[in-house]
Amino acid sequence: MTSFNALFKGPVTFEKWHGAQNDFLFAEAESFFSSLTDVPDSASVAAAAEVLCHRHCGLGADGLVLWQSDNSGKISAGIWNSDGTRAGTCGNALRCLAALMFEKKFWNGRQAIDVLELAAEGASADKIQPKSFATLLSCDLLQVAKNQFSARVGMGELQNIAPIDRSDFLQLCESENAPIAERLRLALSAVAFVRLANPHLVLILESEKFSSFSHDDFIQAGRLLQSPRMCEALKIPVSNIGFVEIAGRKGRSAQEQRLLNGIVFERGAGLTPCCGSGGCAMKVALEHSKLSQTDDVERIAMPGGIIEIRTEGKSLELTGPAQRFGRIEIS
């Protein structure tokens, strides 16, 4: 694997943040680009992200986030996954970005501000692409501990949802002779492909069955559903695979909000502690399948923490924790 010395010709500083245990390395873009040994472009940033995020040979993270803010108040950012691919969005990283901008006083935490896509070919202002891919909506410092925040971000609009016939889906799973196919047959209530900025395949499972699935079961199912043959048969791209429970809500008032369990098998990363865009896709799939019993906020508990998803007009809004827990300098 490429060493840090081969990647960087000068010092570079990172802050490490996590949103519900989904962790990221943040660096100011201009400083990062100027420190790279190679000319900053999509390939060199992708290579750097893969090395930096490696859990054993690097600093360890689920992704790399490069950001910049200019004198006019514009904020731009780019998110790279741990395998070097560019992420279309990431709710947990965006909440951390909101907290970072709030903490550094680049943003007041109250007035909504768009996040522009950062070009990988340099950090100068003329390289900022005008396209907005997210909105920072609010941020509050939590008093329970230092460096802990609650942030709300806009995740954009639903691009497409395609319900998938349950019987056809199960037949495809069984045709692969995968041991997990029978477990899915007993547990699956509905399945849908949801495209936000990222593609998601959401499996809605009966509550008592969801709780019986082990991490190994979710991994087996995730690998099966990300296999080239399954994606080709389903006519979808390789997607994040989300699993969410659905349970009856008898005995609860209209004001009470049901806490659902969810987990996501991410592209290139496997099971993740939390996936913000995955939670948004779960809410969309539940509503479209008429299995959601709330018109307002869906609260989903993932292994790393609880996130809340609200539909506001045509847009999806995500609220959850963000915490800074370190600063790292490579010299």
Of the spans 51-60, 143-152, 223-232, which averages the highest pLDDT?
Answer: 223-232
* Predicted pLDDT of residue 136: 95
What number of other Cβ atoms are within 10 A of residue 160's Cβ? 9
CA distance 288 to 325: 38
Residue-wise over 215-241: b if at least 16 C-beta within 10 A, else e? Answer: eebbebbbebbbeeebbebbebeebbb
Q: Please, what is the Cα angle at 233 between 228 and 234, to 5 degrees? A: 100
For residues 190-204, give the mean pLDDT: 96
**Pair (70, 107) in one structural domain:** yes
**Pair (222, 326) in one structural domain:** no
pLDDT at 149 over 90: yes
Q: Are 100 and 67 in contact (CB under 8 A)?
A: yes
**Pair (75, 92) in one structural domain:** yes
3-state secondary structure of 314: coil
* Predicted pLDDT of residue 260: 93
* Predicted pLDDT of residue 190: 97
Of 140, 141, 277, give the one whose Cα is nearest residue 199.
277
> Residue 251: which pLDDT band, with cuts at 50, 70 and 90?
very low
* Predicted pLDDT of residue 83: 92
> Residue 132: which pLDDT band, with cuts at 50, 70 and 90?
confident
Report the mean per-residue pLDDT for the chain.
90
**Pair (227, 325) in one structural domain:** no
**Pair (241, 166) in one structural domain:** yes
* Predicted pLDDT of residue 72: 77
Q: Could you tell me where the DSSP H helices lie in 106-195? A: 166-175, 180-187
**Pair (108, 247) in one structural domain:** no
Which token pair is 112?
Answer: 């909504």
3-state secondary structure of 9: coil
**Pair (191, 137) in one structural domain:** no
Q: Are 78 and 97 in contact (CB under 8 A)?
A: no
Q: What is the pLDDT of residues 10-51, one digit of tens each?
A: 899 999 999 999 999 999 999 999 999 998 888 999 999 999
**Pair (169, 278) in one structural domain:** yes
Q: Please, what is the Cα angle at 148 between 200 and 12, to 5 degrees? A: 80
CATH number at residue 115: 3.10.310.10
**Pair (151, 26) in one structural domain:** yes
* Predicted pLDDT of residue 126: 46
**Pair (56, 185) in one structural domain:** no
pLDDT at 92 over 60: yes
Q: Are 306 and 150 in contact (CB under 8 A)?
A: no
Domain count for the chain: 2
3-state secondary structure of 277: helix
Q: What is the pLDDT of residues 60-75, one digit of tens each?
A: 999 999 999 987 788 9
**Pair (104, 131) in one structural domain:** yes
Q: Are 222 and 241 in contact (CB under 8 A)?
A: yes
* Predicted pLDDT of residue 179: 93
CA distance 233 to 221: 16
CA distance 18 to 325: 8
Q: Could you list the residue range(s) of the whole structural domain that residue 165 is in?
A: 160-313
> Residue 255: which pLDDT band, with cuts at 50, 70 and 90?
very low
User: CB neighbours of 309 closer than 8 A, spacing ≥ 6?
Assistant: 279, 280, 282, 283, 297, 298, 300, 316, 317, 318, 319
pLDDT at 249 over 80: no
**Pair (208, 325) in one structural domain:** no
pLDDT at 127 over 80: no
For residues 134-146, give the mean pLDDT: 82
Distances (CA, A) of 214 to 168, 209, 219, 328: 25, 10, 9, 35
* Predicted pLDDT of residue 247: 66
Instruction: Kindly report whether the global pTM for this prediction surpasses the value 0.95.
Output: no
